[in-house]
Structure 1
């Protein structure tokens, strides 16, 4: 057996001289041959290990884990409406009492003609509206899609009632109602209220 034989399976690979170079690395400038370990390029998967596609999150990252900003803003607006409703309830109640007492005073005959039942009805409406807004705002963390629909209806009705009969004084309620309806009705609102609950 001769190392010079090109067909000898026990000899060095083609183009290499026996005893040349380090036993673990092929000589410089030559391709690695039989008996020398192959080096994998960095970032490439090894033999037998298929490369997995990169993990990608969907748009928005799936179900939200914290309340989106627009939904939180709608919740704050509901609490603002609660504050206005408390103030309105007190003012309408004071007005109804004042009109009732003015009926006995001849100096306020014009007020005496005003029906106090309407003032008391508006007082009750303001109170109920405030309680409804407070209930919705309190349930934003735990409520589902039904609460979202209810908040959407609340926002729309608030905007409609603000237009008539409270046109001048209802501008703030009009803006708040529209914003609440938009914020709970958009995709962030849908994602928040339809998120899975464990």
Structure 2
């Protein structure tokens, strides 16, 4: 072996390239050594963990479901209003002027007015919380979960076939808002 052989690993390097020898530190701009991977570049610390920039699909679905529930509340308020009108029309009927019917009509119209007031409150809560989904905040998340839980209780007790739609929507709202991506959306920093 001669030192002039270009394939000789022990010979002098050919050309004008100087490679660092064994034991000498490498200069910047060369390939990193073996053994440890390079660390990613350091990002400036803003003080807050970065939250999702776009509303997750589950939260979007929960907001749409709250708007659907608001629409169902409007239909319910109209039906309850028609029920009040029917009861008051029957109260004026001279054939039904009995003592028992008057007591029943007064009771049922009072119950219908109370149900209308409850439906209006629930409608306003549904709209307000659907609007709060876009803004976020843990208070909005907790409010949505409480709203859906109370709605579940009110849907289960006077159960009728249309309540199953309401129950399913409310359960899905709770699940979507309580999921990890929903929690991250509501706890994200808002600037």
| Fold shared by both chains (TM-score > 0.5) | yes
Is structure 2 residue 184 aligned with structure 1 residue 191? Answer: yes
* Larger CA deviation: 100-109 vs 171-180: 100-109
Higher alpha-carbon deviation: 127-136 or 93-102: 93-102
Aligned to 2:38: 52
Is 1:77 matched up with 2:65?
yes
With normalisation by structure 2, the TM-score equals 0.76
Regions of 4+ moved over 6 Å: none
Distance 1:175 1:188 in 2: 21
Correspondent of 1:144 among 115, 133, 137:
137
Larger RCO (CA within 8 A; separation ≥ 6): 2
List alignment gaps of at least 5 residues for structure 2: 21-25, 42-48
The within-5 A match list for 1:116-127 is: 116-127=109-120
Match of 1:16 in 2: 3
Q: Are residue 156 (structure 1) and residue 127 (structure 2) matched?
A: no
Could you list the per-position Cα deviations for residues 43-66 of structure 1 after superposition, in whole angstroms to 9, with x for gaps in the alignment? 8327xxx963247xxxxx951100
Distance of 2:150 and 2:187 partners within structure 1: 23
CA contact (8 A) 1:102 1:111 kept: no
Length-normalised TM-score, structure 1:
0.74
Q: Which has the higher helix share?
A: 2
Match of 2:12 in 1: 33
CA–CA distance in 1 between the matches of 2:40 and 2:152? 47
Offset of 1:15 from its aligned partner? 3.2
CA distance in 2 between partners of 1:168 and 1:108 (Å): 31
Say if 1:160 and 1:174, in contact at 8 Å, map to a contact too. Answer: no
Distance 1:80 1:28 in 2: 79
Q: How many residues are aligned here?
A: 168
The counterpart of 2:124, out of the listed 112, 131, 140, is 131
Across the aligned residues of Structure 1 and Structure 2, the Cα RMSD in angstroms comes to: 3.0
Unaligned runs of 5+ in 1: 1-13, 18-26, 56-60
Report the Cα distance in structure 1 between the residues aligned to 2:38 and 2:74, rounded to whole angstroms: 59
CA contact (8 A) 1:157 1:177 kept: no
Q: 1:84 to 1:102 in 2, by over 3 A?
A: same
**Structure number, greater radius of gyration:** 1
